[in-house]
Amino acid sequence: MESDERQVFTRFVKETEPRLSYALAAAYGFEIGAEATADALAWAWEHWESLEEKRNPAGYLYRVGQSKARRYHRRQMFFPEIPAPEVPSVEPGLIYALASLSQNQRVAVVMIHGMEYSEREVADLLGLSRWSVRTHAERGMRRIRNALGVTTDVTN
């Protein structure tokens, strides 16, 4: 019986964890994002029965993750510059620009433009309307482009 439960939870984690990890990392930085995700998933396993009954478990866990992230009492957010060999093409200016966005703008930009999640998926996660998420993403991208001095997109 427990093994069935584990299988269901494992499937849930496979589906939900990427979205949760990227969103919380975008919101709070990589380190606190990872901590918050781990805490939220641990909470999910502990409260699995009640979580299963939620209409939007991913969105609920994002709220749990936000709450856990606040426990770290760190308002500053850190985005490290990944060593060059690992990610050769990331401009440092992009990281600064990303850090200057509001939390919702950052999450929307990363999730929609970076990780190619749909507006609906991001809206469910953040508990916002699709329109609101689209606005956050558009404004965030505009600010990043302005910060980088990009006037036209370059297609890979």
Partner 1 sequence: MSRIESQLREYFDAGVERITADDVFARARVEEGGLERLHVQRSRPTLNPAWAAVGAFVITLLGLGGLAAVLSLAPNIVDGVDVGAAEIVESNGGTLSVWIVAALAAAVAAGITVWFVRRPRGGDGGDPDAEPEQGRVKVMETIESTEERAEMTEHRSRWPMIVIALLAVALVAALLWMTLAMRPNSPNAAPPEIVELMEEYNAAWNAYDVDALEALVTSGYRIHAPGGSFDHDIESVRWYLMPLLEGWEWQTTIGGSFYAVAQAPDSGTWYVSSEGSVVNRSGTDYPQNGVWRVVVADGGYLVAEHFFMGG
Q: Does 90 bind partner 1 (CB under 8 A)?
A: yes
Q: Does 146 bind partner 1 (CB under 8 A)?
A: no
Q: Does 87 bind partner 1 (CB under 8 A)?
A: yes
Chain position carrying tokens 């990780």: 115
Structure-token pair, residue 127:
């508990």
Contact track, partner 1, 6-45, x by CB under 8 A: x--xx--xx--xx--xx--xx---xxxxxx-xx--xx-xx
The burial of 140, by beta-carbon neighbours within 10 Å (0-12 exposed, 13-18 middle, 19 or more buried), is given as buried
Write the DSSP assignment of 13-46 as a string of letters. HHHHHHHHHHHHHHHHBHHHHHHHHHHHHHHHHH
Side-chain half-sphere exposure of 148, counting CA atoms within 13 A:
20
Q: Does 1 bind partner 1 (CB under 8 A)?
A: no
Shortest distance in whole angstroms from residue 56 CB to partner 1: 20
Nearest Cα neighbor of 64 from 39, 30, 87 is 39
Shortest distance in whole angstroms from residue 136 CB to partner 1: 15
Q: Does 75 bind partner 1 (CB under 8 A)?
A: yes
Nearest Cα neighbor of 33 from 60, 69, 59 is 69
Nearer to partner 1, 18 or 127 (CB): 18
Q: Does 71 bind partner 1 (CB under 8 A)?
A: yes
Structure-token pair, residue 78:
């850190």
Q: Applying CB under 8 A, which residues contact partner 1?
A: 6, 9-10, 13-14, 17-18, 21-22, 25-26, 30-35, 37-38, 41-42, 44-46, 71-83, 86-87, 89-92, 94-96, 98-100, 109-110, 113-116, 141, 144-145, 148, 150, 153-156
